[in-house]
Structure 1
Amino acid sequence: MTEQQRPGDQTGQDMNRYPGAPAGQQHPQAGPQVPPHQGWTGQQQPYAAQQHPYAGQQQAYPGQQPTGQHWTGTQQAPPVFTPAGGPVKERRSRGWRIAVAGLAAGALIGGGTGAGVATLVADHGGSTTTAAAQNVVITDPQNATSATAAAAKAAPSVVTVYVTSGQSAGSGSGVVMSADGYVVTNNHVVTLDSSTNSATVQVTTSDGTLYDATVVGTDPTSDLAVIKLEDASGLTPATFADSGKVQVGDQAIAIGAPLGLSNTVTTGIVSALDRAVSTGSDQNTTVIDAIQTDAAINPGNSGGALVNAAGEVIGINSAIASVANQSSQEQQSGNIGVGFAIPSDTAQRVAQQIIQTGSATHALLGVSAQTAAEQGSEVGEGAKVAQVADGGPAAQAGIQVGDVITAVGSREVTTSTDLTAAVRSATPGEKVTLTVRRGSSTEQVDVTLGTASS
């Protein structure tokens, strides 16, 4: 049996940004350190150089990258974490971190900018802090709130994920999908922000039981991954809600391990739907069609659950927005009330594909696009087609270079990132209607989306 009891049920905490500190830091003999994750700096940083809920970094609305490092220990409790390293300076625009994401060889190539977004991976630093994990228990049923009941139902299905690779380490969260140990989490968590494909992964369940785990498969396109706990049985699978029925204003409860603090619960509401969020660099960009929430999400929350008032999962927490300091232009770490989660419908579809085949597929439009805007204006007016793939879905539908796509179905498109997110929210083979501006005329074009592999 690889299942183990965590000595003292210790949790490490450390974070600076999404994952926290830069990878490759030296860890003290007392325990591995994880560099703090940093939010997108306006430069083309690797996915692992930003903030994610996962272990210590998150990515802001559009334009940041997740960074995560994980714990490297195996037969003992994960080391405690501390902040390591200062934030990375970035260029700013209107106080938000701005990133230009080029999406190559996918549904689209995006060239739009957006507010800073960071992924959330918690890094483990040198100083130690011990915190015992506790299950969510209703002690006063008569005065319990809906959030209390929802947390009590969902918390047993949320785990803490520890990842190590060489001298890099980070921690994040995950959601149990089956009693025998399949867990969905973020890609940036298990790859330490794309810095490794061969990390060592361990997981503690809500009751403190420690398991070794293997990576079943990853999907960088959606920032999702599935891991399998070894010799696990009797786990509590999460109940997933239909994210298509989520409404703005609904209660939203985030459950995960920010800074390595397992079983942490924060509450808020659903702030927005269909929020196009771009994270990563030109070489490693992820665009998600996200649920936005003001529930506190911090480094280490990545991969954890966003649940509704019934304790059903509506999303997988993945990124947070961050603002630039007016004087130093440094990335602020931690929650500012703007967090993002991958909708549960997308998470379930991708996770099931990974479990069955080891990989996932996504809808393909077959164009390269840039944000169209009036000269001198920063306001997007659609996605202008720069290239059309020969024989692809767009070409077959008659889309031409220079066309400006302003809507996908009833969903407005003002930037290339919007277009990418709208396409990726669809399924391969689905027929969508594009609103296309060509010269002075506007027309509706039906397109049957193709299939792209991650």
Structure 2
Amino acid sequence: MSNDIGSPIPPLPERSAQDAAAEGAYPPPTATYQSPNPAPASQPSYQWAPQPQNEPKKKDRSTGGAKLAGLVVVAALIGGGVGFGGAWLGLAAFDGSDEPAAVASNTGQGITINNPDDVNETAAVAASALPSVVTIEAQSSSAGGSGSGVVLSEDGYVLTNTHVVTLGGATSDAQIRVTGSDGTLYDATIVGTDPIYDLAVIKLEGASGMTPMDFADSSKVNIGDNSVAIGAPMGLPNTVTTGVISNTNRSIEIQSSAAPEGDDTGGGQGGEGEDDNSQSPWFFDLPGQEEQQRQSAESIKIAVLQTDAAINPGNSGGALVDDEGKLIGINVAIATGSSSSEEGGSIGLGFAIPSNIAERVANEIIEDGQATHGLLGASVTPSSAVEGTTTTGAYIAEVVGDGAAEEAGLKKGDVITQFNGVRVNDSVDLTAQVRAAAAGSEATFVYVRDGEEHEATATLGTLE
């Protein structure tokens, strides 16, 4: 099987992390705490993070790199409630006084600022970004789980992952509760989901005065830049971890029962040929539905930022921010070292959907209830799998009539090496980049034909 790739959110006000650290006072919620007690899994994959059993009372109101050698398991970062003890940790007070800030509970850890006069960069980033990250709980008649989300607007639009609000594709009508960083509880409804890029937008009922996340330009992120992951790993809300961006142009493939049935979003609109999964070291099991995912023939391919900030189950849908507290990515997956390990966890390979892609998809969902994705109109396969090719990239196996590829003048045997300025190493990269672009947008290509490099432009079609 071949791979065929064939009103917006208003600008958010600028505010520095240091200002937020100097100003902010976030009182801790009153809550009962329990420590998480994860149940062992037979296969490492997605694990639902523990859900709170005793809830607070509701208030009134680039460059591409070679794929990793060896076997790794890419696991979604949503956590599961079944078999877990509950846990709720609130944000500690940060009042700018000389006294140590109070932690939320003596049985848990909040964000504690012991010396407000000497706040480091990570503490300032946390103070700035934490109010814009929420914890999401989804529950159906047969399953439940939790993840994280990023606040988009003062009236409660929140961006997260599709697999968080659909319980790994198991349901389309889960009951959703959301907890703000200050402990306020909200009911929420799904505005729209985008299983092609595993993103979703929900709306909190009765929300007002929330703190929207400030978006950075993810196309300007460099390898080595500082990164801070914020979310609820293992059911521990308001958790902050730090690291660096370890790659800016990684593409991963995900077997997904949430993907549209009958659509090989891994690549192919219009062709039949070799499936490039055989050469991929990546495995991706959606949380709580591991067996179903392994049996699914559907897949999605997404472009991601790679970070070594510690990311764990429960971080799904949460924020990856830069050293100014601005969003650079939506946390979506981790890699673990073995398909036979009992529990998934961070080994320093985390993945986030770039903020530019996430913002476009969120805007379209809010406006229209769904997002669009580009279509190339060609069947492709890794050039490394084609005998006689000497160029790394995506090999054109077939061009579909009246598509973007034909418009660009691409022919069978061409090897695409760049798409919209991004390096293409294989068909997974090309599919992920084409899907990241909006339907009807103009795309630029660099391709090799008969040993010579060429450039072309075309208008992408629409993935149906």
TM-score range normalised by the length of the shorter chain: 0.7 to 0.9
TM score, norm. by length of structure 2: 0.72
Are 2:209 and 1:198 aligned?
Answer: no
Once the two structures are superposed, residues 148-194 of structure 1 have per-residue CA deviations (whole angstroms, 9 ceiling, x without a partner) of: 00001110111100011112111100011111111000011111111
| Paired residue type of 1:117 | V
2:207 match: secondary structure: coil
Out of 22, 31, 35, the position equivalent to 1:8 is 31
What's the CA shift for 1:292? 0.9
The offset of 1:429, in angstroms, is 3.6
One of 189, 193, 214 as aligned partner of 2:164: 189
Q: CA deviation at 1:258?
A: 0.5
Measured against aligned partners, the alpha-carbon deviations of 1:2-49 in whole angstroms (never above 9, x if no partner) come to xxx998354774657xxx96xxxxxxxxxxxxxx9x65xxxxxxxxxx
Structure 2 residue aligned with 1:264: 239
The verdict on how the C-alpha distance between 1:69 and 1:200 changes in structure 2, with shifts beyond 3 A counting, is farther
Change (3 A) 1:443 1:331: farther
Q: Which residue of 2 aligns with 1:285?
A: 299
For structure 1, which runs of at least 5 residues remain unmatched after alignment? Answer: 22-35, 40-49, 57-67, 79-92, 98-115
Contact 1:322 1:331 in 2 (8 A): no
Q: Mean Cα displacement is larger for which, 160-169 or 405-414?
A: 405-414
Q: Pairwise CA RMSD of aligned residues? A: 3.0
**CA 1:69–1:356 in 2, change beyond 3 Å: closer, same or farther?**
farther
1:408 aligns with 419
Q: Does 1:128 align with 2:85?
A: yes
1:324 to 318, 323, 338: 338
Spell out the pairing of 1:134-283 with structure 2 (5 A cutoff): 134-135=91-92, 136=111, 138-281=113-256, 283=297
Q: Which residue of 1 aligns with 2:55?
A: 77
| Distance in 2 between residues matched to 1:419 and 1:130, nearest whole Å | 41
> Displacement of 1:226 after TM fit?
0.5
Q: Per-residue displacement from partner, 1:372-424 (whole Å, max 9, x unpaired)?
A: 216799x9822122333321111222322333222225432221111112223
Q: Give, as a single letter, the amino acid of the residue that structure 2 aligns with 1:123.
A: G
Equivalent position amino acid for 2:151 in 1:
V
Matching of residue 443 in structure 1 with residue 454 in structure 2: yes
How many correspondences in the alignment? 369
Q: CA deviation at 1:120?
A: 1.1
Confirm or deny: 8 A CA contact 2:82 2:145 kept in the other structure: no
Identity across the alignment (%)? 46
Counterpart Cα distance in 2 of 1:167 and 1:244: 41
Q: 1:429, 1:204 → 2: CA distance?
A: 38
1:434 corresponding residue in structure 2: 445
| CA positional deviation for 1:444 | 2.7
For residues 255-280 of structure 1, the C-alpha deviation after alignment (integer angstroms, 9 at most, x for no partner) is 10011111011011111102112222
State the shift of 1:250 in Å.
Answer: 1.4
Following the alignment from structure 1 to structure 2, what is the Cα–Cα distance between the partners of residues 266 and 331? Answer: 23
- Where do 5+ consecutive residues of structure 2 fail to align? 1-27, 57-67, 93-110, 257-295
| Paired amino acid for 1:186 | N
TM-score by length of 1: 0.74
CA offset at residue 363 of structure 1?
A: 2.0
2-structure distance, mates of 1:388, 1:322:
37
Deviation per CA, 1:176-228: give whole Å up to 9, x if none: 11111110000111111111111111111111111111111000111100011
- Is the contact between residue 51 and residue 146 of structure 2 (CA under 8 Å) also seen in structure 1? yes
More strand per residue: 1
Q: How does 1:12-161 map to 2 (within 5 A)?
A: 13=36, 50-51=45-46, 56=47, 77=55, 94-97=69-72, 116-135=73-92, 136=111, 138-161=113-136
